[in-house]
Amino acid sequence: MEIRSQYSIIKSKDKKYTNSTILLEKGKLSYEWALNTMKIISKIREKYERSKPLSSFNLGFCLHITKETSVLLMAAKALGANISICSANPLSIQEDVVEFLKYNEINVFATKNQTKKEFFNNIIKVINTNPNIITDDGAELHSIAHNRKIKSIIGGTEETTSGILRILSLQSNNKLNYAIIGVNEAKTKHLFDNRYGTGQSIIDGLLRTLGILIAGKHFVVSGYGWVGKGVSSSLRGLGAKVTITEVDPIKALEAHLDGFNVQRLKDVLPNGDCFITCTGQRDVISKKDFSLMKNGVFLANAGHFDVEIDIHYLQSQDKFPKQMRPHLECYNINGKKIHLIAKGRVINLIAGEGNASEVMDLSFANQLLSILYIAENYKNLKKKLYEVPKEIDDQVAQLALSAFGIKIDKLSQRQIDYYYNNSSL
């Protein structure tokens, strides 16, 4: 009831409500809506709110600025942290959330429709706050912190597959300056966020943009990793015909035995109605491929960076002036219409609202517990990429099960002995 009455306030035409007041009210509602389902973060917050273990820490975040991110930041603030944030992608910024965070005295360096230059300047503004712990999604903040040799940093965390690859490259060149916990590698992150989260939100981004019927269409999904698996199984569930393209023979075989059509990209180019890249790799769909595609084809990217589809080539070609739908551009390639969704950037966060709150609860619970772990243990950590400690992963899974009201069985002592001390074998 309270939410409905607030919503009617923000819809009011009353002049005293300025644009930023309206956004703030919307941001409060967005936060409350996400908080309702983010029960794991709430439990962690309840546990540590009184002792405030982050009170002597300055935290720098580089994340997509969504309602779920506001729940993570408000929890970190309640644990005593001083917080600054910039966005992990120039366009993944929900303005209502920005207003809400600013109202709650969190330093936000991000503006809707910021240019690439402003995006990088905003990352530097977070660096200039001298953060102690950095939480990143894509390792942009980590890279700049390393280039500038920022002394204040005692450790960091990384959210996504593409960011982990960049950190591994720093590590293999002996350039890592502080310990980083690879949150993406937690089972309770990639098995659920990358797979079930994006499996739903990529479809949401597609439908919000195109509103097309998925059943009967031919989708080509490049990459059968966690994201690709989620996306292709959701598409199949909606009646699409799905072809997978892969470079890893094991993943390709897995896709085949999961019942998908598996082909080389070049062989399927003339047949796909919609292509979705989910690889984390560059140049997956390149200049030579566009003219071989069907007239009217749709292209979208689910990977972290906008390098999977050759958008620079597309953007150098004639563009149809009429924009038929938000987040949709149409290029003329040899007389064919080639539609690009969300400028080839991560579709679910630009054309949609990102992953559902329940799944971000798992990912961000790993983030918050990893931040707490660094705050407590940084003196004993080496300059390397760490896995999320198993006890954190297990704790997040237990908390998630209890949030979903699920109880599971326990091994008896006899069963434990059978597994671990089986002398009869």
Within 8 A by CB and 6+ apart from 111, the residues are 93, 98, 118, 122
Integer Cα distance of 283 and 271 in angstroms: 20
Residue 27 vs 230, nearer CB to ligand NAD: 230
Helix boundaries (H) for 148-290 = 161-172, 187-189, 198-210, 226-237, 249-257, 265-268, 287-290
What does the per-residue mask of binding to ligand NAD show for 127-166, with x meaning CB under 6 A?
A: ---------------------------------xxx----
- Judged by CB under 6 A, the stretch of 94-102, 240-248, 329-337, 379-387 that binds ligand NAD is 240-248
CA distance 377 to 395: 18
Q: Does 276 bind ligand NAD (CB under 6 A)?
A: no
Nearer to ligand NAD, 27 or 225 (CB): 225
Stretch that binds ligand NAD, among 87-95, 114-122, 278-286, 365-373 (CB under 6 A): 278-286
Which residues make Cβ contacts (< 8 Å) with residue 73, sequence separation at least 6? Answer: 61, 83, 85, 101, 106
The closest alpha carbon to 160, from 180, 130, 132, belongs to 180
Binding pattern for the stretch 287-306 against ligand NAD, x by CB under 6 A and - elsewhere:
---------------xxx--
280, 285, 329, 359: residue in contact with ligand NAD (rule CB under 6 A)? 280
Residue from 249, 275, 273 nearest 262 by CA: 249
CB of 346 to ligand NAD, least distance (A): 5
DSSP state for residue 93 in the 8-state scheme? B
DSSP state for residue 344 in the 8-state scheme? G
Question: What residue number has its CB nearest to ligand NAD?
Answer: 225
- Of these, 187, 236, 251, 383, which contacts ligand NAD (CB under 6 A)? 251
- Give how many residues touch ligand NAD by CB under 6 A: 30
Residue 47's nearest CA partner among 372, 281, 339 is 372
The residues, any chain, with a CB within 8 Å of residue 400's CB and separated by 6 or more, are: 40, 188, 361, 362, 365
Pairwise CA distance, residues 320 & 330, whole Å: 6
Spatial distance between the Cα atoms of 127 and 121, rounded to a whole number of angstroms:
10
Stretch that binds ligand NAD, among 47-55, 77-85, 244-252, 336-344 (CB under 6 A): 244-252
Residue from 93, 278, 333, 375 binding ligand NAD (CB under 6 A): 278
Q: Does 346 bind ligand NAD (CB under 6 A)?
A: yes
Which stretch in 15-23, 34-42, 222-230, 403-411 sits in contact with ligand NAD by CB under 6 A? Answer: 222-230
234 binds ligand NAD (CB under 6 A): no
Stretch that binds ligand NAD, among 123-131, 219-227, 285-293, 402-410 (CB under 6 A): 219-227
Report the phi/psi class of residue 147: left, alpha or beta, with left for phi > 0 and alpha for psi in -120 to 50.
alpha
Instruction: Give the binding site for ligand NAD (CB under 6 A).
Output: 160-162, 190, 193-194, 198, 222-228, 245-248, 251, 278-281, 284, 302-304, 346, 348, 355
